[in-house]
Amino acid sequence: MIIEKELEDGFKYLEIKNAHAEAKITLQGAHIFHFKPIKKEPILWLSNLAQFKIGKAIRGGIPICFPWFGKHKLDPSLAQHGFARTSIWKLVLSEELEDNTTHIILELTSNLETKKIWNYDFTLHLAVTIGEKLDIEMTITNRDKKAFEISTALHSYFNISDIENILIEGVEGCRYFDALSKKEELQNEKLNFTEEVDRVYFNISKNIDLVDKNRTIKLEQEGSNSLVIWNPWLEKSKTMSDMEDEGYKTMVCLETANALEDSQIVGVGESHVLGVVIG
Q: Among candidates 47, 26, 24, 50, which has minimal Cα distance to 35?
A: 24
CA dihedral over 42, 45, 49, 54, signed as positive or negative = negative
Which among 4, 11, 9, 13 has a CA at the least distance from the CA of 33? 13
Q: For residue 137, how far is the Cα from the chain centroid?
A: 11
Name the catalytic one among 72, 81, 125, 255.
Answer: 255
CB 179 within 8 A of CB 232: no
Check if 255 is active-site: yes
DSSP classification of residue 243: S
Query: What DSSP designation does 165 have?
Result: G
User: Residue 155 catalytic?
Assistant: yes
Which one of 6, 8, 155, 246 is the catalytic residue?
155
CB-neighbour burial class of residue 5 (10 A; exposed 0-12, middle 13-18, buried 19+): exposed
Query: Catalytic residue numbers?
Result: 155, 255
